[in-house]
Chain A
């Protein structure tokens, strides 16, 4: 898979896909209120596909293990849409093993954020991954 393009703007708009309502609420709170980001929260892959074009995200933040459509499939489907074909992606998962990290990279992700996360640090982690692409 081709590497994702280099981000050039400060990170502001994040499309976030997570099926679990509890963790989704914490992450949205953290990203918006601590990080000052604009977040479009989606409950699953189909929801993300439906909302992506109108939101025009700069970054996709995807849970991996979701019912129905997992994070990898969701990313592949979003890659088929013109508006998100090249949008950088970050996976968020409770399962970060070395072998799995390779799979995330192969899927074209900027990186992986491990769950559980510290709500105070989530936006910083995301911006760090974004910034790494600039350097």
Chain B
């Protein structure tokens, strides 16, 4: 495969990734809503944490470094929140803001 063909294939994968972003963000927002409704449950937070981790690791490989930076910040915040022994919905405030900021960034990708 020539370098041009490689870049073309990479560009196609990038287009596919961009096309999936709205669905990924919608799922993440759903998990956040579930976590806010039941802050003591770890399931939605664990899914959200894995989403942030994956987004942090993936977006930058497609050239979206600001998305990686924002997702990593969200990941760290979710790790902190998940370690709280007695969570309330208020503890999710910063994570919710970071997720909104991530959604805004992703919308402009």
List the interface of chain A (C-beta within 8 A of B).
20, 22-23, 25-26, 29, 33-34, 65, 67, 93-95, 115-119
Q: List, sorted by A's number, 12 A–B pairs whose CB atoms are closer than 8 Å.
A: A22-B20, A22-B58, A22-B62, A23-B61, A25-B13, A65-B50, A65-B53, A95-B53, A115-B57, A116-B59, A116-B60, A116-B62
Ranked 8 nearest A-B pairs via Cβ: A116-B60, A94-B57, A115-B57, A116-B61, A33-B1, A23-B58, A94-B56, A22-B17
Given known A-B contacts A20-B54, A65-B50, A29 and B13 have beta carbons under 8 A apart: yes
Closest to B50 in A: A65
State whether the Cβ of B10 lies closer than 8 Å to any Cβ in chain A.
Answer: yes
Chain B facing A: main interface SS: helix
CA distance A94 to B68 in the complex (A): 9
CB distance from B41 to the nearest CB of A (A): 17
CA distance A5 to B105 in the complex (A): 45
Chain A facing B: main interface SS: loop
| CB–CB A29/B56 < 8 A | no
| CB–CB A94/B72 < 8 A | yes
Interface residues of B in 60-83 (CB under 8 A from A): 60-62, 65, 68, 72, 75
Given known A-B contacts A33-B6, A65-B53, A115 and B60 have beta carbons under 8 A apart: yes
CB distance from A61 to the nearest CB of B (A): 14
Taking a contact as CB atoms closer than 8 A, the residue among B1, B10, B13, B58 that contacts A116 in the complex is B58
Which residues from chain B contact A119 at a C-beta distance below 8 Å? 10, 61
Which residues from chain A contact B56 at a C-beta distance below 8 Å? 94, 115-116
